[in-house]
């Protein structure tokens, strides 16, 4: 067996979702909404399945979606993108990340990452032969440590993998932080792979700024989006990549050998979705913000120390005051089996378990209000 991958177990999201199903707990662990996505987008896919071709679409994606991705970049970020040479459709952001990392990293290249980090980043980078250089942000403000970040870059740095809005920290990087990152990337002649799947789930009047929009960064950034997050359709696994032709080329070569393509009628429906009016996108963020506030207030009332959340659909909460003897993994198993509410241990987002946070858990709030209320009621009865 490959020694790099054998050091990783089954993903914490799968482990906790299985436990939630077994115990019939409310699943606030793995991040997915409990509604079925916008009815008009789903109807567009349904019509397509009956009436449009169900055979292999072009390798880079159906033209409708690639054009819609280019237009979306212009509409929200004033980025001029040529759909034919600068966009590609993937099987979710996960495949986009694989294609980017396997397409760009050569064995021995250094890759800068910000911890806590999403679970697939490290195994993919290490399997590609990259050498991870981790920099930590610390709660509750999760500010970028400028000196440590500068020290993580070297003449061997191939790229930084940046996730903003950031899972699980629920942080949106500030323009100043992005400017600092851009300067380092340029100074070290490196690239940035930008995981921006939560680009439309940002709160309190904050704005998401793609690193790609900063001066000199257009040709150095790869931008990744996902219909899973933007349309609450996680099971469709439709993602999209924007990058200049020189970067997209090695990434698309990887994509063609990984999966080649993605279901055409789901792609066409997402193309329709990306062209929805302004109210859809503002409504998505406003709806999630109300859910954030609802769950945060409920958890605080029980005695959790609830951290601020600027974006994503996750809120982190410390359980120090609840009198539980055990770490975050034990706590998540305990509340799943004994209180009927599932969450994710934040230590799962750290490379080194020895120095990870051990008393903070992540709750997903993209659920119906009644479900959030029931989850809070169950936890309140338990503690
Ligand atoms: N990146 C981050 C930060 C995520 O949270 C997720 C999934 N929740 C993904 C990538 C994967 O997205 P997809 O489901 O489109 O593969
Ligand atoms: N990104 C989702 C989360 O953070 C999970 C996706 C997955 O299970 N791979 O919970």
What are the extents of the domains in the chain?
Answer: 3-30+279-382, 39-276
Out of 93, 199, 234, 313, give the residue to mutate to test ligand 1, the one with the largest number of ligand atoms within 8 Å of its CB. Answer: 93
Q: pLDDT by residue (tens digit) across 264-309? A: 999 999 999 999 999 999 999 999 999 999 999 999 999 999 999 9
The pLDDT value given to residue 95: 98
For residues 91 and 236, give the distance between their C-alpha atoms in angstroms, rounded to a whole number: 8
Q: Please compute the mean of the pLDDT values over residues 27-32 and round it to a whole number.
A: 98
Q: What is the mean pLDDT of the chain?
A: 97
Q: How confident is the model at residue 61 (pLDDT cuts 50, 70, 90)?
A: very high
Relative to the alpha carbon of 118, which ligand is closest? 1
Q: Please compute the mean of the pLDDT values over residues 242-264 and round it to a whole number.
A: 98
The pLDDT value given to residue 31: 97
Using the predicted structure, report yes or no on whether residue 2 has a pLDDT greater than 80: no
The pLDDT value given to residue 1: 61
Rounded (10°) CA dihedral 372, 282, 199, 221: 180
Q: Please compute the mean of the pLDDT values over residues 57-79 and round it to a whole number.
A: 98
CB 234 near ligand 2, within 6 Å: no
Task: Show the ligand 1 pocket: residues with CB < 6 angstroms.
Answer: 31, 92-94, 118, 163, 167, 195, 197, 226, 228, 234, 237, 239
Rounded to two decimals, the pTM is: 0.98
Q: Please compute the mean of the pLDDT values over residues 55-67 and round it to a whole number.
A: 98
For the domain covering 3-30+279-382, report its CATH number. Answer: 3.90.1150.10
CB 31 near ligand 2, within 6 Å: yes
The pLDDT value given to residue 7: 87
Contact 20, 28 (CB under 8 A): no
The region, left, alpha or beta by phi > 0 then psi within -120 to 50, assigned to residue 205 is left
Predicted interface score ipTM higher than 0.95:
yes
The pLDDT value given to residue 208: 98
197 Cα to the center of ligand 2, angstroms: 11
298 Cα to the center of ligand 2, angstroms: 23
Nearest CA to 64 out of 237, 250, 240 is that of 240
For residues 373 and 299, give the distance between their C-alpha atoms in angstroms, rounded to a whole number: 10
Alpha carbon 146 to its chain centroid, in Å, reads 23
Domain 39-276 sits in CATH 3.30.70.20: no
Contact 195, 163 (CB under 8 A): yes
Using the predicted structure, report yes or no on whether residue 153 has a pLDDT greater than 90: yes
84 Cα to the center of ligand 1, angstroms: 25
Contact 99, 258 (CB under 8 A): yes
């Amino acid at each position: 067996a490959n020694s790099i991958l054998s050091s990783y177990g089954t993903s914490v999201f799968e482990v906790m979702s299985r436990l939630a199903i077994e115990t019939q707990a409310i699943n606030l662990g793995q991040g997915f909404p409990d509604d079925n996505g916008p009815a008009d987008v789903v109807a567009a896919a349904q019509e397509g399945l009956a009436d449009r071709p169900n055979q292999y679409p072009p390798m880079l994606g159906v033209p409708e979606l690639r054009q819609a991705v280019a237009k979306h970049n212009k509409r929200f970020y004033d980025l001029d993108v040529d759909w034919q040479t600068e966009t590609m459709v993937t099987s979710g952001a996960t495949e986009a990340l694989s294609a980017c990392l396997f397409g760009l990293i050569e064995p021995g290249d250094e890759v800068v990452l910000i911890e806590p980090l999403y679970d697939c980043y490290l195994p993919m980078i290490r399997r590609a032969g990259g050498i991870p250089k981790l920099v930590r942000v610390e709660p509750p403000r999760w500010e970028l440590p400028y000196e440590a970040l500068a020290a993580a870059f070297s003449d061997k740095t191939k790229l930084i993998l940046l996730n903003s809005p950031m899972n699980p920290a629920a942080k949106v990087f500030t323009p100043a932080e992005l400017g600092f990152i851009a300067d380092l990337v340029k100074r070290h002649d490196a690239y940035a792979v930008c995981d921006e799947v939560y680009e439309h789930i940002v709160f309190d009047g904050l704005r998401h700024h793609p690193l790609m929009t900063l001066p000199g960064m257009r040709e150095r950034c790869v931008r990744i989006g996902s219909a899973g997050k933007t349309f609450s359709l996680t099971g469709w696994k439709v993602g999209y990549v924007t990058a200049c032709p020189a970067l997209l080329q090695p990434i698309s070569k990887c994509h063609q050998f990984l999966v080649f393509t993605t279901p055409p009628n789901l792609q066409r429906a997402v193309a329709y979705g990306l062209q929805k009016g302004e109210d859809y996108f503002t409504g998505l963020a406003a709806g999630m913000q109300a859910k954030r506030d609802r769950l945060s207030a409920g958890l605080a009332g029980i005695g959790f120390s609830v951290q601020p959340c600027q974006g994503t659909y996750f809120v982190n909460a410390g359980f120090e005051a609840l009198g539980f003897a055990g770490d975050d993994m034990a706590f998540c198993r305990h509340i799943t089996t004994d209180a009927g509410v599932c969450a994710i241990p934040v230590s799962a987002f750290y490379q080194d378990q020895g120095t990870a946070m051990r008393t903070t858990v992540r709750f997903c709030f993209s659920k119906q209000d009644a479900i959030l209320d029931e989850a809070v009621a169950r936890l309140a009865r338990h503690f």
